[in-house]
Structure 1
Amino acid sequence: MRFSISADERTGIADLLESELRARGHEVIVHGALDERERPDWAYASEAVARDVAEGRADQGIVCCWTGTGASIAANKVAGVRAALCFDAETARGARRWNDANVLALSLRSTSEAELREILDAWLESEPSEDPVDRENIEHLRAIERSALRTAQGEVAS
């Protein structure tokens, strides 16, 4: 699987994330502070990851900032991205299963190395639910995005 990842600073689990994914056999595209040529700020780095996922350059993404909140907000601004801020394995498992999350958001401050591995295990072992109600909710999210895009395009055209 190809992952796009970012962090806004090289602290906490930032460097471990890349090496852990590669050790598990995944391809990794890096952004933000993980690539010295890029702007490290959380909004920019998270957007780059989200665009990789939305545009098919990556299968999934992982975004990190101090709390994980800003990174998840920025990623979720890109149409087609469902970023989930996860602090434990069960939340990650549920985010993949019930929310069909395609971007994982993590806190550099509060995610330990052991938690990172547990969260990655849960994320990678989980598949999106095929339950009709769960799929209907995901389709409703897509409808919300389409509506927001139409509204934004109408505002720009005015």
Structure 2
Amino acid sequence: MRVAVGSDDTYSVAGFIAEYLRRKGFEVKLVGALATGKPYPWPDVGFEVGSMVARGEVDYGVVICYTGTGVSIAANKVKGVRAALVTDARNAEGARKWNDANVLALSARLTSEELAKEIIDAFFAVREVDPSEAENIRKLKAVDTLGDTR
């Protein structure tokens, strides 16, 4: 599985996440500060990772900034992206299972390495969305292609 990991700064937890995913067998593509080694604008990180997911260059994305909010907002501006800002493993699992999230957003300030492992493991353990949420997910995808369906 291919995953883009992007960060707006060289947070130790961001580097840890990229390496943890590699050790788990993922093909990791680095974006932003993880690729350049210096601070990178958070909107660009969100847009780049989101665009890679939307174009099918990667299967999923992980974005990190100080709060996680900025990169989440930026990624969600890309058509086809469903980025979820999560703070624990249960929310990560739910984001995949109930919302079909394809980008995981994390706060560098709040996420320890141990918590990052739990979140990553929970997010990527989900193989299919909950069938009871199929109609809700369809509505989200329809907004991308058809405009507001309400």
Specify the TM-score bucket, using the shorter chain as the normaliser: over 0.9
Q: 1:36 matched to which residue of 2?
A: 36
Structure 2 CA distance for partners of 1:114 and 1:37, relative to 1, 3 Å: closer
In the alignment, residue 114 of structure 1 is paired with which amino acid? E
Q: Deviations over 1:92-136 (max 9, x none)?
A: 0000000000000000111011100000110111133241x4111
CA distance in structure 2 between the partners assigned to 1:36 and 1:121 by the alignment: 27
Q: Deviations over 1:47-99 (max 9, x none)?
A: 11001100010000000000000010000000110000010000000000000
Deviation of 1:36 after TM superposition, in Å, equals: 1.2
Give the RMSD, CA atoms, in angstroms: 1.7
Moved over 4 A (4+): none
Matched residue SS, 1:3: strand
CA distance in structure 2 between the partners assigned to 1:37 and 1:119 by the alignment: 24
Q: 1:137 matched to which residue of 2?
A: 136
Deviation of 1:39 after TM superposition, in Å, equals: 7.1
CA distance in structure 2 between the partners assigned to 1:50 and 1:134 by the alignment: 23
Q: 1:153 matched to which residue of 2?
A: none
Aligned residues between the structures: 148
Question: For the pair shown, which has the larger CA radius of gyration, 1 or 2?
Answer: 1
Give TM-score scaled by structure 2 length: 0.93
Structure 1 residues 87-102: aligned runs within 5 Å: 87-102=87-102
In the alignment, residue 113 of structure 1 is paired with which amino acid? E
Q: Deviations over 1:6-51 (max 9, x none)?
A: 0000124111011101000110111110111897111001111001
CA distance in structure 2 between the partners assigned to 1:25 and 1:96 by the alignment: 20
CA distance in structure 1 between the partners assigned to 2:27 and 2:129 by the alignment: 25
Gaps spanning 5+ residues in structure 1: where?
Answer: 150-158
Q: 2:5 matched to which residue of 1?
A: 5
Matched residue SS, 1:128: coil
Alpha-carbon contact 2:10-2:37 (below 8 Å) kept:
no
Q: 1:116 matched to which residue of 2?
A: 116
In the alignment, residue 27 of structure 2 is paired with which amino acid? E
Structure 2 CA distance for partners of 1:22 and 1:72, relative to 1, 3 Å: same
In the alignment, residue 90 of structure 1 is paired with which amino acid? R
Confirm or deny that 1:104 pairs with 2:108: no
CA distance in structure 2 between the partners assigned to 1:128 and 1:23 by the alignment: 23
Alpha-carbon contact 1:12-1:109 (below 8 Å) kept:
no
Gaps spanning 5+ residues in structure 2: where?
Answer: none
CA distance in structure 2 between the partners assigned to 1:10 and 1:89 by the alignment: 23
Q: 1:18 matched to which residue of 2?
A: 18
